[in-house]
Chains A and B, each alone.
Chain A
């Protein structure tokens, strides 16, 4: 069964305190790994797509990396506006996505 697991479920950081979110996956035929950001009351907003092990992508304070079994979202010197739920999803054949349950990030000033 295709499965995506995110950890931790929730993370509290002080402003400027760097950390990483984990997304582990067990799927057949991974075609890509997506990261999304979701703010309360809103739909998921696309951040990154990673296609192969070793690939990295960056956007402002966020950097996503991919291995054969997991992906990490590294947050460097976070700010309160980075507070959100971060979702990862494995892309399978037919552009179907299998989502993890998400990590709720809170950054306090």
Chain B
């Protein structure tokens, strides 16, 4: 019973490099989310996908793009990484949006940009 799986777990990039973070869920959830977590701050929403085929910006979308590949998978792409994007990235999923169901999180990707 894997839940939400994120890969990779750790990554170091140089400024200007690109990278895609992968996320997959096996709970048949409709909605998926990407957050970043920085010290002293709450989790902040980057992008979300209410259902397969749709994506929307969250609170901090600049510098990121997303793809909802299918119902299971939601990827986050950094086209040109910047040191300010050093963070821990969490993917989450939940049942149908609007039903106020809890979000279930993966264990994160720790990303450092030099």
Contact = CB atoms under 8 A, between A and B. Distances in A.
B37 to A, nearest CB: 9
Nearest to B58: A96
B98 A96 contact: no
A101 interface: yes
A51 B97 contact: no
B40 A101 contact: yes
B42 A43 contact: no
Interface in B11-59: 31, 40-45, 48, 50, 58
Interface string A35-48: 01000011111100
Nearest to A94: B97
Contacts of B43: 44, 87, 89, 97, 99
B76 to A, nearest CB: 15
Main secondary structure of the interface of B (DSSP, over half): loop
Contact of A87 (B42, B58, B100, B102): B42
Interface in A86-105: 87, 89, 91, 93-102
Given A49-B100, A97-B45, A99-B42, A43 B50 contact: no
Contacts, number: 60
A4 interface: yes
* Residue picked from B42, B100, B101, most chain A C-beta under 10 Å: B42
Q: How large is the interface on B (under 10, 10 to 19, 20 to 34, 35 or more residues)?
A: 20 to 34
Interface in B87-102: 90, 92, 94, 97-102
A108 interface: no
A102 B42 CA distance: 7
B4 interface: yes
B80 interface: no
16 contacts: A42-B107, A42-B108, A43-B106, A43-B108, A44-B90, A46-B102, A87-B42, A89-B43, A93-B98, A94-B98, A95-B31, A95-B94, A95-B100, A100-B42, A101-B40, A102-B42
- 9 tightest A-B contacts by CB? A99-B42, A43-B105, A99-B43, A46-B102, A95-B97, A32-B100, A43-B107, A44-B105, A101-B42
